[in-house]
Amino acid sequence: MVNLRKSLNRLPHLIAFEAASRKLNFTRAAEELGVSRVSVSRQIAELEESLGARLFNREHRRLSLTQAGRALEAEVNPALHQIADALKSVAGAAKGTRLSVTTTSAFATYWLMPRLVDFSNRFPRIELDLVVADRMLDLAAEGINVAVRYSATEPREGRVRPLLQEKVFPVVSPRYAARTGLTQASDLLQEHLLHLSGIYRPGARWPSWFRSNGLEPPPEGSGVVVNTYINMLQAAIAGQGVGLAGNPLVDPYLADGSLIRVPGCKEVVRDHYYLMDMTRDREDAQIFCDWIMEQAGKAVG
């Protein structure tokens, strides 16, 4: 009988090899694995030494598999994926009826979570695993069943339905000490603005909004710069400045008066929130998707 512990003592190295052979780039393999390029390069070198065979041709800015590397790829890579699928299958069976749902932190905080009480009351047998992430997850690799994604284009994974479309406009707290009468778009040039930085696309930022209103935008030094949508909204609610926010996420604060729309300002239509069902006719996923579409219809209505 084969001693698996002895034979597979290079399993982490094989995982590095699988990524490197697929990407044909040590840097991209390292990014996928969440390690350094040096780590991947070292693991490949150690694997080659233990096998006594060179697996990659390392040319200038180019990586290719040797004959031994192609042979190893053909046998090992499918086996690793088979093992991963088996583990995922067992883990999924152990979870029973739990349905994994992912969305961004802002959508989860301001739109989805306040409504989940209704879902739990109506469908108590369906348990949810809410995966909140602002980075673009690999839905298949993470075992995600349903996703809500904000995108300029319709995603190509799973069964996709447009859920909601965002419109952005200036909002302010009644507690904010305005420098002007705040009755028209040009007044905002003299106000304390809350600027978004980081991953957000131009349409979520003040310069784009000002230009759509026919105005030259002020510099970011005219206000506070924050790096998350949640922090921006909280700062606006606290009266620290004027925020550029959008429905549906800001709707609860407009409804309770925590924030008000600045009058005389044009709203800008932006991207869609898309609902993605990654399952194959799974009943609990269908129930959740129908429920969230119903909630979106109420929000629009």
H or E element in which residue 80 lies: helix 67-95
Q: Which residues of the chain have pLDDT under 50?
A: 1, 301
Number of C-beta neighbours around residue 272 at 10 A: 19
* DSSP single-letter state for residue 192: -
Contact 145, 215 (CB under 8 A): no
pLDDT of residue 82: 81
List the structure tokens of 45.
Answer: 């070198």
- Assess whether the region 99-162+280-300 and the region 165-271 belong to the same CATH fold: yes
pLDDT of residue 220: 66
pLDDT of residue 236: 93
* DSSP single-letter state for residue 262: P
- Classify domain 165-271 at the CATH topology level: D-Maltodextrin-Binding Protein; domain 2 (3.40.190)
pLDDT of residue 188: 93
List the structure tokens of 77.
Answer: 């890579």
pLDDT of residue 120: 93
Report which of 295, 12, 13, 275 is spatially closest to residue 146, judged by C-alpha positions: 275
Domain parsing of the chain, residue ranges: 4-93, 99-162+280-300, 165-271
Helix axes 11-23, 67-95, angle to 10 degrees: 110
The HSE-up count of residue 6 (CA atoms within 13 Å, CB side) is 3
DSSP codes of every residue in 117-186? HHHHHH-TT--EEEEE-SS---HHHHT-SEEEEEESS---SSEEEEEEEEEEEEEE-TT---SS---SGG
Question: Which CATH architecture fits 4-93?
Answer: Orthogonal Bundle (1.10)
Number of C-beta neighbours around residue 60 at 10 A: 4
pLDDT of residue 103: 93
- Residue 294, C-beta contacts closer than 8 angstroms, at least 6 positions apart: none
Helix axes 11-23, 37-51, angle to 10 degrees: 110
Tell me, what amino acid is at 99? L
- β-pairing verdict for 159-172 and 260-261: antiparallel
- Classify domain 99-162+280-300 at the CATH topology level: D-Maltodextrin-Binding Protein; domain 2 (3.40.190)
List the structure tokens of 35.
Answer: 């390690």
pLDDT of residue 163: 93
Contact 26, 18 (CB under 8 A): no
Q: 168: phi > 0 → left, psi -120 to 50 → alpha, else beta; which?
A: beta
Report which of 59, 62, 57, 72 is spatially closest to residue 16, judged by C-alpha positions: 72
pLDDT of residue 92: 56
pLDDT of residue 1: 46
